[in-house]
Amino acid sequence: MEYSQRLGNITDEQFQKALDRFELGQLIKAESIPFGNFGQNVFLTTTIGEYVFRGKPHYAWQFKSEQFMADLLHKKTKTPVPYPYLVDEQTDIFGWGYVIMPRLNGKQLKDKSVKDQLTIEDKKDIARAFGENLAEMQTLTWDFSGQYDLQTGSIKAFDKPFDQWIIDRIKELANLCSTYGDKTPKTDIEWIDKIIEDGVEAMRVVFTPTFVMHDYQESNMVVDKIDGKWKVTGVFDLMENYFGDGESDLPRMFIAYAEEDMNLAYIFLNSYLSKHKVRPGFEKRFPIYVLIDRLIVWEWAQRTGKCWWNSKFTFRDWCGEFSQLDEKLLVIK
């Protein structure tokens, strides 16, 4: 059966061979997952439990990096992540390596039937839970900023200071986007440069490198109401992680909420800030982290032609309103 375009046809016999390799019982059923952009995952139910199968890695390091971070988050934080994260790099069953991990219990908010049942109070509580959970994930720290390195099996430092790494990446993406057409004009590049100029000193304020998921959004989490309170019951899809300034993980969720309801965006943000010691210059760094987050999405959309917003928008039209914080709604303790 074909579970996704990426994975192609997989037989029950192949799934069973993978389950046997980790002694995970007899396959009862395999189910396609309707969420996610890349089609790497399949739900598996066996005689001893429920699991997620993840196959055909994008990069040689993907599954080992995800395993490294899942192990650290499980051992050093209270964040619920898939553990054990079982990696098989052998290619004899499927033609590529794969992962089998426990399926995390909870509600997937990308499921419209779930989200439509939420009250406004539910949504507020979930936004708070997302902020608290992000702060909890960032109790995982490292001695320096960097990314997983396959050769050493650990974190390798960036080849430049983190602030310069971010700024250089912004300029690289902006210049690349300007070659795709007229939606990233010179005036937008000048606007980007001005935001960087205004925040460059704030970016240099010393911080303790923390876990950065880099794709912190509701589609990569499940939630549930426990003892009358909404909680994050699972976090997954840890491919794009690194250690750096934890504030850089705020914009993706903040903007997703801002597009729905600005009050929810600030409930999320303030919930995080209430659990996190805020360094001087936060208001100047936040627009820079908005730039890097939005440019990653913008570059992909301009390159692939998969824009879901007003096609007449330039980059500044699209993200400008999210680059400044509202002092009336922002609470920094």
Nearest to 97 by CA among 154, 66, 67, 54: 54
Asked if 258 and 329 touch (Cβ cutoff 8 Å), the reply is no
Mean pLDDT of 275-293: 95
Q: CB neighbours of 59 closer than 8 A, spacing ≥ 6?
A: none
pLDDT of residue 52: 97
> How many Å apart are CA 200 and CA 239, to the nearest integer?
28
Q: What is the pLDDT of residues 147-173, one digit of tens each?
A: 999 999 999 999 999 999 999 999 999
* Segment 60-69, tens digit of pLDDT: 999 999 999 9
Confidence of residue 35 (pLDDT cuts 50, 70, 90): confident
Angstrom distance (rounded) from CA 258 to CA 264:
7
What's the token pair of residue 108?
């997937």
Sign for the pseudo-dihedral over CA of 240, 242, 247, 248: negative
Q: Where in the chain is the domain with CATH 3.90.1200.10?
A: 112-322
- If one compares 49 and 38, the residue with the highest pLDDT of the two is 49
Cross-strand pairs, 229: 226
CATH architecture of 2-102: 2-Layer Sandwich (3.30)
What's the pTM? 0.94
pLDDT (tens digit per residue) in 194-205: 999 999 999 999
Give the fold, CATH level 3, of 112-322.
Aminoglycoside 3'-phosphotransferase; Chain: A, domain 2 (3.90.1200)
Percent of the chain predicted with pLDDT > 90: 88
Q: What is the pLDDT of residues 104-133, one digit of tens each?
A: 999 999 888 999 999 999 999 999 999 999
d(CA 248, CA 245): 6
- Cβ atoms of 286 and 251 within 8 Å: the answer is yes
